[in-house]
Amino acid sequence: MKLPILALHRAEITRLEALTPYAVYDDNPENVPYPYIVLGEVIFTDWSDKLADGTEVYPTIHIWSQYPGRKEAAEMADAILQAFSSSPLDLGSNFRAALDRLDNFNLLVDLDGKTRHGIMRFKYLIEEL
Residue 111 has what pLDDT? Answer: 93
pLDDT-above-90 percentage for the chain = 86
Which 3 state secondary structure label does DSSP give 127? strand
* CATH 3.60.20.10 for domain 5-128: no
Residue 74 has what pLDDT? Answer: 97
pTM confidence score: 0.93
Which 3 state secondary structure label does DSSP give 31? coil
Residue 50 has what pLDDT? Answer: 83
pLDDT digits 0-9 by tens, 16-75: 999 999 999 999 999 999 999 999 999 999 988 888 888 999 999 999 999 999 999 999
Q: Where are the domains of the chain?
A: 5-128
Confidence of residue 1 (pLDDT cuts 50, 70, 90): confident
Residue 126: count of CB within 10 angstroms of its CB: 27
Residue 16: count of CB within 10 angstroms of its CB: 19
pLDDT-above-70 percentage for the chain = 100
For residues 90, 101, 2, 16, the Cα torsion angle rounded to the nearest 10 degrees is 40
The DSSP bridge pattern shows strands 36-46 and 23-25 to be parallel
CA distances from 11 to 1, 42, 62, 97 (A): 20, 14, 16, 11
Q: How far apart, in whole angstroms, are the C-alpha atoms of residue 35 and residue 66?
A: 7
- Residue 56 burial class via C-beta count within 10 angstroms: exposed 0-12, middle 13-18, buried 19 and up: middle
